[in-house]
Amino acid sequence: MNFIQPWMLLALPLVAVPIIIHLVNQRRFQTVPWAAMMFLMQASRMSAGYTKLRQWLILLMRALAVACLIFFTSRPLASGLIGLLGSRSSEVAIVLLDRSPSMQETQAGSGATKLQGALQQLSGTLKTLGVQRVVVFDTASEKPIEFESPGAMVSDPSLVANGLTSDIPGMLERALLYVKNNRTGNVNVWICSDMRESDWRSRDGRWAADREGFISLPQEVRFQVLDLGAASAENRSIRILSAKRVKGPQGVELSLSFRIERTLGSGAPTALQIPVEIEVGGARSVVNVDLQSESAEVNDYRIALSSENDNAGLDKGWGLVRCPGDTNPADNTSYFVYEKPAARHTVIVSDNPRVIEAIELCTNISPEQAIECETETVASSQLDSIDWNAVALVVWHEQLPEGRSLELLTQFIAQGGQVLLFPPETPNDTAALGIQWTGWQTLDSKAKPDAESAEGDATLAKVLQWRNDSELLGNTLNGAPLPVGQLGIKRICKLQAEGTVLAAMSDELPLLMRIDAAGSAKNGVYVCTTTPSMRDSTLASDGIVMYIAIQRVLAAGSERIGSTRMVTVGQPVSTLLDAASQAAGDSTVLTNQYAQNTGVYRTSDLLIAQNRLGDEDSGKLVSAETLSSLFGALNWSRIEVGASAKSLVQEIWRWFLIIMLVAMVVEAMLCMPKRRVVPMTKVN
């Protein structure tokens, strides 16, 4: 039990006042022996036990009345949160608010979403605790939002749900800076979230810095985690994987691929058929998808856009895929745009083009009839003459760029372009784009050569590990893995870099890396530590892996070319939406919040389809053990929030008032004199 005015409990010793008065009254009279009373005393001994019990009950009722009066004035709180606030509250409350799409899920037993329920319950709690001012941090707002009263949070339009995935460690970082700059007293930080791993980012290195920063503060900081991740009914989500305008036997067609995922609720059938609505250019159609487990994919579903004789066709447009409504409408729709494929243009910068001529061959072979591929080879001094708006991929096989070349490449990456770097023959000490070459190393094979293989050279080492869930080396559409393990590597160029290893010869020798520090939102910088030359590897002779990887990185780079974009909420292109108009999406979204919400938007030059981040479809929650390790030595507690309570805490002073009145009534009844019965005398 907690109290809003705990200092009133200092008056609890007053409970002893009735007992003290009783003892004093007993000493006011002197006992004088009197022979005549001896017979009366003996006669009344039979009722002495009842008299003493009544006296003790009277004292108990009086002490209970005084105690209830003291508890009543201290304003006690009742909840299931022992030690919620200790005995302290704060005039300012800091709230870290999760507004991600998953927070739009409807709470069981309530018509409100998780976000609405959290705001209502938190508002009632802070009002009960006497908090005067609330400071709210979220991922969408760069600056904190301040409210003069807790109730103002509930109806504020800036705190509605959006399409952004929350960044809890980032919000903690900003809250720490706020506490330091404003010199607040004891601080209560309330974190409202449905505990999705995608929002908490438990492996993020910022957690350690945040934890140490709060521990070093001179004032006390308490964290209250409002857990809204309670299991709910079955939820389904749909996501567009690709939308391409292709030429089919009957004319121009739209090729769609999409995935459906679901979270199984209690009693939900394991297999069902889901009608998926597809809308293109105002025309609607329905395709039934059989869902046998937790997910299903539909690949290359064709929709006719024009007939073979219609020369005009549809060069550009937009559409959406939608699954039936459920507990969370935020993930029931996914948007797409399409247009006539632009040419996939590759620029090769090399000091020895013959070493990587196999790369040029891969970039020139189109994977589809409708896609044109073209390649040009230039020197680093000629980069200023390139039309960068038409380039999808830059293959760099020279010393690492510097000066003007580095500036142009950095701008290209920031705009969604892809860069693939190969080591030069004699690398220098230049460091750029987050990497630095350190020199070549010859590898020795640890496996016996295959006698039947033409490549049975004992000096060719094999790739030991690779990520089949990565962008470049992922499995094919039918689930078959790429034959990366069949590649033979004779030598690699060692490097210093920080990034994600996609393939490696050993734990210390990466073969293919994605450089996260230099990458754009599409992770556009890749490094291969060998070349396709026969003196270095079998990348050229076993060319299927290299061709597929090159075409995948080309496809990612070509997304920046043309007048359509398919992006996720929060990408840099979202800044263009400030002057856009909405073609599809939630019509209630304010124009200054287009960059935070999914939909289709038009600018003067672009048609943009914006969807939620892929991690939002994952139902993985932060475990109790992980949460404990994230907060470490900080003073924190976890509160499981239900849908029925209007406030997380309630004042229960009324109960103490009732108990006090009952105690006074019982005390009065016990003090009433015993009714005497006068015997009747029979008269003759």
pLDDT tens-digit readout, 361-394: 999 988 877 788 899 999 888 888 888 888 999 9
At 635, is the secondary structure helix, strand, or coil? strand
Domain with CATH 3.40.50.410 in the chain: 92-229+623-648
Question: At residue 639, does pLDDT exceed 90?
Answer: no
pLDDT of residue 394: 93
Question: At residue 324, does pLDDT exceed 80?
Answer: yes
Name the strands in the sheet holding 2-3, side by side, starting at the edge strand that comes first in the sequence: 2-3, 76-78, 650-651
More confident residue, 578 or 40: 578
The CATH homologous superfamily of the domain defined by 92-229+623-648: von Willebrand factor, type A domain (3.40.50.410)
Of 538, 544, 550, 539, nearest to 482 by C-alpha is: 544
Question: At residue 623, does pLDDT exceed 70?
Answer: yes
pLDDT of residue 615: 82
pLDDT tens track for 242-282? 898 888 777 888 999 999 988 765 555 677 889 999 999 88
pLDDT of residue 40: 60
Q: What is the DSSP letter of 680?
A: P
The helix (run of H) or strand (run of E) holding residue 338 is: strand 333-339
pLDDT of residue 489: 93
Length reported for the chain: 684
- Rg of the chain over all Cα atoms, to the nearest angstrom: 37
Backbone phi, psi, residue 40, to 5°:
-70, -40
The fold of 344-558 is Rossmann fold (3.40.50)
pLDDT of residue 33: 66
Domain with CATH 2.60.40 in the chain: 248-340+563-617
Question: At residue 309, does pLDDT exceed 60?
Answer: no
pLDDT tens track for 405-419? 999 999 898 888 899
Q: Poorest-confidence range of 2-6, 268-272, 394-398?
A: 2-6
The mean per-residue pLDDT over the stretch 228-236 comes to 75
CA 74 from chain centre, in angstroms, equals 40
- The CA-based angle 421-565-317, given to 5 degrees, is 140
How many CB atoms neighbour CB 348 within 10 A? 21
Q: In percent, how much of the chain has pLDDT > 70? A: 80
The fold of 248-340+563-617 is Immunoglobulin-like (2.60.40)
pTM of the complete model: 0.70
Question: At residue 314, does pLDDT exceed 80?
Answer: no
Choose the most confident range, by mean pLDDT, from 1-5, 42-46, 400-404, 466-470: 400-404
The mean per-residue pLDDT over the stretch 45-55 comes to 65
Choose the most confident range, by mean pLDDT, from 16-20, 22-26, 421-425, 451-455: 421-425
Average pLDDT score over the chain: 81
The mean per-residue pLDDT over the stretch 64-82 comes to 64
pLDDT of residue 41: 61
Q: At what angle do helices 206-215 and 624-631 cross, to 10 degrees?
A: 50
Question: At residue 83, does pLDDT exceed 60?
Answer: no
Q: Poorest-confidence range of 137-151, 225-239, 370-384, 429-443?
A: 225-239
Q: Tell me the pLDDT band of 642, cut-offs 50, 70 and 90.
A: low
